[in-house]
Amino acid sequence: MSFHIGKRWRLLVPHALLLLLVLVVLAWWAFADARAYRAFCLVDDSARRRAFYRQWTLTSFVLFGLGGLVLLAATGSLGDLWRMPSEFAQLAPASAIAEAGAGGGADYVIGVLIGIGAMLALSVLLWALQIRKMTLPAIGDIEPLLPRNGAEIVAALPMAINAGFSEELFFRLALPLLATRVTGSALAGFAIATGAFALAHWYQGWKGMLVVLEIGAGFAWLYLSSGSLLQPILVHVLVDLIALVVRPAIALRWHAQIAPN
């Protein structure tokens, strides 16, 4: 018995220190990112705005994409990229775990792709109908972030796609798994990770962070209920594409058509 307790403590202490380090770095980055966003809001030059987009894309990929992989590797959890970690069993439905363990889910993937296709078709329809309501920002203080011309839309496209992949890898798998191992509770692990996800959107203001907190909980539910990281990745990408690509494109076309000749 004492051997097992000693082994658990030898694993718990470095994991706890690693979790603390990750949260401190994340808080520091969120503060610096909010400050950079305030500077971005004062920029009118399109070339400089596109440079910000590229910088944010690269930073997110390194911090959350590569950082998530490093975190998984450091805790011996890279195999959990392809299966639901056993630590999440207390929250995940049995059907999701069984499906993930069996390597199935073809019908689920097809269903997700059909859903994405339907939402994209709806976006095209809204564009055609010129519903101005869709051109408005959705949450938080993000209006300055939205692209203002075609070149900026193209520059924002990689940022939207990368956010869906990198942030879901980090906030829905790597970070909650580490926090679960430290706290012994999957619920606490996902609560910590979802709170950190909201903190990473500090630049949106407290109202935006509250909405992001709710969205993060929804992404966590998608992951746990499906047994695969694919669904929240695809939905996250779609949400960001609509916000950073579809909505600005609709707005540009709308204002072009109502502008005086």
Quote the pLDDT of residue 257: 54
Nearest CA-CA partner of 243 in 199, 192, 193, 201: 201
Nearest CA-CA partner of 225 in 112, 114, 72: 112
Q: Contact, 120 vs 21, CB < 8 A?
A: no
If one compares 105 and 176, the residue with the highest pLDDT of the two is 176
User: Rounded to whole angstroms, how far apart are CA atoms 195 and 212?
Assistant: 9
Quote the pLDDT of residue 249: 87
pLDDT higher than 50, residue 89:
yes
C-alpha to C-alpha distances, 211 to 23, 83, 199, 200, nearest whole angstrom: 21, 29, 11, 13
pLDDT higher than 80, residue 18:
yes
Percent of the chain with pLDDT over 90: 59
**For the residues 227-237, what does the mean pLDDT come to?**
92
Residue 211 CB neighbour total at 10 angstroms: 15
Percent of the chain with pLDDT over 70: 74
**For the residues 96-104, what does the mean pLDDT come to?**
49
| pLDDT band with cut points at 50, 70 and 90 for residue 177 | very high
pLDDT higher than 70, residue 193:
yes
Which of 23-27, 82-86, 114-118, 136-140 shows the lowest mean pLDDT across its residues? Answer: 136-140
pLDDT higher than 90, residue 92:
no
C-alpha to C-alpha distances, 117 to 110, 198, 238, nearest whole angstrom: 10, 28, 10
Q: What angle do CA 231, 244, 133 make, to 5 degrees?
A: 100
pLDDT higher than 60, residue 93:
yes
If one compares 119 and 79, the residue with the highest pLDDT of the two is 79
| Neighbouring residues of 165: CB distance < 8 A, sequence distance ≥ 6 | 65, 233, 237
Query: How many structural domains comprise the chain?
Result: 1
Structural domain boundaries, residue 70: 2-258
157 class by beta-carbon count within 10 Å (0-12 exposed, 13-18 middle, 19+ buried): middle
Which tokens hold the place of 148?
């203002």
Quote the pLDDT of residue 131: 43
Quote the pLDDT of residue 95: 47
| pLDDT band with cut points at 50, 70 and 90 for residue 248 | confident
| pLDDT band with cut points at 50, 70 and 90 for residue 126 | very low
Mean pLDDT for all residues in the chain: 82
Quote the pLDDT of residue 110: 52
